[in-house]
Amino acid sequence: MTAHKNLKKLVRTRMEKTGERYAAARRKVIGAETDGNSHFTGSNAGSTALRVLLTHAGVRNPKTNAPFSEAMLFGIAGGIGIGQFSFYYEKADMASFFLAGRHNWYSELDYLREALGSFSIEPQVWETAGAKGAAENLKAAVALGPVVAWVDAAGLPHRGMALSAGGMMYHIITVYDVDTEQNTARIGDLTDEPITIVIDDLTKARMRIKKDKSRLLAISGPVTKVKPLPELVNEGLRRCVDGLLKPPGPMKSNCKLDSLLRWHERMSNVGDKESWARLFKPGPNLWRGLTWIVTSIEFYGTGGGLCRPLFAEFLQEAANAVGRPELQEMSEVYADLGRLWSDLADAALPDSVPVMREVKQQLALRSELTHTGADPAEVRAVWATLSELQKGPFPLSEDEYAELRGELAPRIKRLYEGEKAAFERLRGMIS
């Protein structure tokens, strides 16, 4: 099993040396981890699950004969995508906001099936509605090796989340093994080390989101033949482009890059009925909107920068491995876009406002504690601190809020223009 116990120290050392934000520093440190067949930590749940499954099945990078890096699998699986949503529930007077940055983020099942298809693998999938069947399926699946399990993240004790968030936190984890005598399972959840969880808690988390049907996915048997790396890379690039061109029907307007232009307009135009000035008024709604800008970009399974730096690392690795210098150029483009996304997250909670600066620091601390598998009480304490910080009068006046929107809107517009230009260049590189 990979020894990750020094990762926290390495991440903090890198942050001090380079000035990088937590998510970026962690992504770089864990990106250097290539050993170990039992557990991989990672930045994104889907690409990390792929890495665990394929490594256990004996799949190796044909160029290096080592396990695939997360960045390479992230790219082969389709790389980046986009999703931008604002919701307002009038009866409760509650607004919420969400950004997504990975290809096929809306369906982990399709994401895994398509990516495994590149390796000529048809995974086994188990679904059931009952607790007994869920437990039996897990025993059968884990006998084949590591298993991907669909869960409600709020139901995982180590995440320290409030029960009120239950049913909304769609997530996948990897189950490594089950100890029926101890009634425990050992899981991977982007954590530095595996987490031990009581099977009853795991079953509840699996059953909480009904439409996921306590789903499990596994690979049966070793894989003996892998396509040439240039072919795998090109398939990944094609998936990326197709996903941005033709997202699924019900959400297609929110899953194209043009949705960023709509977000810019809602941030800058107070007359729009769905403008931020109307939906995200100072108070709980605006706190929720601003903190989710930061969380979505930096901490929600992105590796920082809304997945763009992770994609840049794929492009750089692919350029060197398959001899395509144009991919190196695109790597630099997406690395720059990642920095712009992180700058947007930083600006959403300005350092000049002490309580906003503290909230931003607590969001980073919460992510760090979750990744390092800290005592759940520590994680719950950060959630409680965040709640306390957001009570009382909102720290910005209406005029100051207008200034903040005036700061964020052009950043969003610049990102839209940069993303569109990068996409067109990427589109022209598909062979």
Residues 6 or more apart whose CB falls under 8 angstroms from that of 16 comprise: none
Q: Which residues pair with 126 in a beta bridge?
A: 216
* Distances, alpha carbon 108 to alpha carbons 44, 46, 113, 209, in Å: 11, 7, 8, 14
Residues 157, 35, 66, CA angle at the centre, nearest 5°? 125
Q: What single-letter DSSP state applies at residue 68?
A: P
Residues 296, 300, 304, CA angle at the centre, nearest 5°? 80
pTM, two decimals, is 0.94
Alpha-carbon dihedral sign for residues 145, 149, 153, 155: negative
Closest CA to 205 of 139, 138, 281, 142: 138
Element (H, E) at 101: strand 94-102
pLDDT number for residue 27? 86
What are 234's two structure tokens?
């090109």
Residues 6 or more apart whose CB falls under 8 angstroms from that of 411 comprise: 340, 343, 344, 347
Q: Rounded distance, CA 76 to CA 231, Å?
A: 10
DSSP-H helix ranges across 248-299? 258-268, 276-279, 284-294
Q: Rounded distance, CA 315 to CA 331, Å?
A: 5
Q: What single-letter DSSP state applies at residue 9?
A: H
Q: Rounded distance, CA 201 to CA 169, Å?
A: 15
Structural domains in the chain plus CATH codes: 7-121+228-427 (no CATH), 124-218 (3.90.70.10)
Q: Rounded distance, CA 259 to CA 241, Å?
A: 16
pLDDT number for residue 80? 98
Q: How many C-beta atoms lie closer than 10 Å to residue 412's C-beta?
A: 22
Greatest extent of the chain over all pairs of C-alpha atoms, in Å: 63
Q: Rounded distance, CA 42 to CA 148, Å?
A: 14
pLDDT number for residue 394? 97
Per-residue confidence in pLDDT tens, the chain, 431 aa = 344 557 878 888 888 888 888 888 888 887 765 544 579 999 999 999 999 999 999 999 999 999 999 999 999 999 999 999 999 998 889 999 999 999 999 999 999 999 999 999 999 999 999 999 999 999 999 999 999 999 999 999 999 998 778 888 999 999 999 999 999 999 999 999 999 999 999 999 999 999 999 999 999 878 878 899 999 999 999 999 999 999 877 778 899 999 999 999 999 998 888 999 999 999 999 999 999 999 999 999 999 999 999 999 999 999 999 999 999 999 999 999 999 999 999 999 999 999 999 999 999 999 999 999 899 999 999 999 999 999 989 999 999 999 999 999 999 999 999 999 999 999 999 87
Q: Rounded distance, CA 11 to CA 29, Å?
A: 6
Contact assessment for residue 206 and residue 150, using Cβ atoms and an 8 Å cutoff: yes
Rg of the chain over CA atoms, in angstroms?
21
